Amino acid sequence: MALRVVASLAACAIGLGAASFSGRVVRILDGDTVEVLQGQTPRRVRLHGIDCPERSQPYGTRARQFTAELAFGHDVTVIVHDRDRYGRVVGEVILPDGRNLNRELVAAGYAWWYRQYSRDLRLAVLEWMARWRKRGLWQDPNPVPPWEWRKQENRRRSSPAGALRYHTGVHMRGAAGSTGLVGAAAAGFRACSSARRIRSSASSISPRCAACSLESVVCRSAATWPRMALAALAAS
């Protein structure tokens, strides 16, 4: 009963009489994405009007933890605003005590007001207050908005060098032999769990690329890499 009352009040608050449903939060995917069990059907919900740091960003993990602390295992009401291109419900999550999870994240400094998709000036005010009080991510003097972070990641992965790093993982070759995992990791290359280890001419065990036999750690999809990535690897 209490959940129905909260849902009605919240719907009136946005002035749209938006559709809503209730259920238990059974999974936290990111700070701004949760899974709510409606009956026996899990519904993925992207929080409307906010954008939390990506997991690879500073405060991304803390944002996810904050959402889990407030919502995981609780019965909530979801006010539906839309559906995104991935089929997720886009909405506001109302907690059992009536608080709005979307706003709580912004107020705590674990989310940005997603101004590109929201005209909710309450979120703008909460973000300004969090900035002023240096809460959460605003302790960082130069925080990067997650939408800008994603653009940078996409550009990095689409370049030949970026494709090399993304697909190849940790590149082991250097001017004087192997740079080692530590040096390669420091250069920005990622390890791959599906690398095949074979014996080198020196009879030592070393990671090798299944596509070009260079001393590298690679993923199982090596045969399908773009030619430019393989060319960049051969030239490195």
Q: Which amino acid is at 136?
A: G
Tokens 């036999």 correspond to what residue? 213
Distance CA 48, CA 89 (A): 9
Distance CA 231, CA 228 (A): 5
Quick one: which H or E segment has residue 164?
helix 160-168
Distance CA 163, CA 2 (A): 52
Closest by CA to 95, choosing from 67, 76, 72, is 76
Distance CA 102, CA 79 (A): 11
Residue numbers annotated as active site: 46, 54, 88
Strands (E), the chain: 20-30, 33-38, 41-47, 50-51, 75-83, 89-94, 112-113, 173-174, 177-178, 196-199, 205-208
Is residue 104 within 8 Å of residue 98, measured between CB atoms?
no
What tokens were used for 56? Answer: 């690879």
